[in-house]
């Protein structure tokens, strides 16, 4: 396989365009990020789109990949032939732990619950999945840097460090499954993170995450409207995740 040609097809630019530092997101639009940095160059391929951003001294890539583990995993693997060395994943998650809507979360690991088909099989057993699911971790040093950054920027206790489970089906979020996940120390659910962490390890890229809580499956499924009063928390969490991800990617050297 010619990875370079595939990269150009997928991203709409040559690998050399991508800087060392990258923010990747499943669905957040570029204007959310451009409010906090300068956009120098845009690119759009058949699979992914994004931009090269700057704070006048450093450059960073911002890439929108689409929702789902396969898209995010392939994007990170392809970044392995670019100049990318560090990736911050920014998106939403569901909390089955202590975090509430709008809270920020850094996921130190993400168990592999990927794959839709397994959830459709007769006699599906989440305990069996958990028993066999590897939990690729974020880069420990990079995660220490982002947690130190957050402690200084917003204070201890204003964000959560938790373990994620990357789920392969939204319809699988049933009470029995959620209870089993909580009993196994899982605090958040998402749909991409285990692929991001696995791909980053294979590609030799440091990866960590900065997420915000969008729903509470045990109390409020994602399809129900956010209650009045909580909607402000949701919007604030999304804005803060973007703002802090951008600030971290440009200024983290101050926190080494």
CATH code for position 156? 3.40.50.1580
Domain count for the chain, please give it: 1
Asked if residue 256 is part of any domain, the answer here is no
In a domain, 39, yes or no: yes
- Does 40 map to a domain? yes
Residue 22 burial (CB < 10 Å; 0-12/13-18/19+)? buried
What is the structure's pLDDT at 219? 82
pLDDT, position 13? 98
How far apart are the C-alpha atoms of 94 and 214, rounded to whole Å? 6
CB-CB contact of 240 with 104 (8 Å): yes
**For residue 157, is it within any domain?**
yes
**More confident site: 7 or 255:** 7
pLDDT digits (tens, 9 = 90+) for 103-118: 999 999 999 988 888 7
Round to whole Å and give the CA distance between 11 and 13. 5
Residue 95, in any domain of the structure: yes
Residue 172, domain member (yes or no)? yes
pLDDT tens column, 173-216: 888 889 989 998 999 999 999 999 999 999 999 999 999 999 99
Q: Is residue 189 part of a domain?
A: yes
- Domain of 80? 3-251
3-state class (DSSP) for residue 84: coil
Q: Is residue 65 part of a domain?
A: yes
């Amino acid at each position: 396989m010619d990875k370079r040609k595939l990269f150009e097809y997928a991203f709409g630019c040559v690998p050399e365009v991508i800087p060392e530092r990258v923010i990747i997101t499943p669905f957040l639009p570029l204007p959310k990020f451009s409010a906090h940095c300068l956009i120098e160059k845009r690119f759009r391929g058949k699979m992914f789109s994004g931009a090269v951003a700057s704070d006048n001294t450093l450059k960073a890539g911002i890439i929108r990949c689409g929702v789902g583990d396969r898209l995010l995993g392939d994007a990170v693997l392809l970044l392995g032939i670019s100049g990318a060395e560090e990736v911050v994943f920014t998106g939403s998650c569901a909390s089955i732990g202590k975090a509430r809507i709008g809270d920020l979360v850094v996921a130190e690991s993400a168990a592999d619950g990927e794959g839709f088909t397994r959830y459709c099989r007769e006699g599906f057993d989440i305990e069996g999945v958990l028993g066999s699911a590897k939990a690729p971790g974020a880069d420990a040093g990079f995660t220490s840097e982002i947690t130190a950054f957050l402690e200084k920027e917003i204070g201890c206790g204003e964000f959560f460090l938790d373990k994620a489970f990357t789920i392969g089906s939204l319809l699988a979020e049933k009470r029995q499954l959620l209870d089993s996940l909580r009993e196994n120390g899982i605090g958040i659910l998402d749909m991409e993170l285990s692929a991001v962490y696995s791909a980053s390890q294979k590609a030799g890229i440091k990866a960590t995450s900065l997420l915000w809580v969008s729903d509470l499956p045990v109390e409020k499924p994602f399809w129900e409207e956010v209650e009045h009063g909580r909607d402000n928390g949701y919007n604030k969490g999304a804005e803060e995740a973007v703002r802090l991800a951008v600030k971290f990617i440009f200024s983290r050297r101050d926190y080494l």
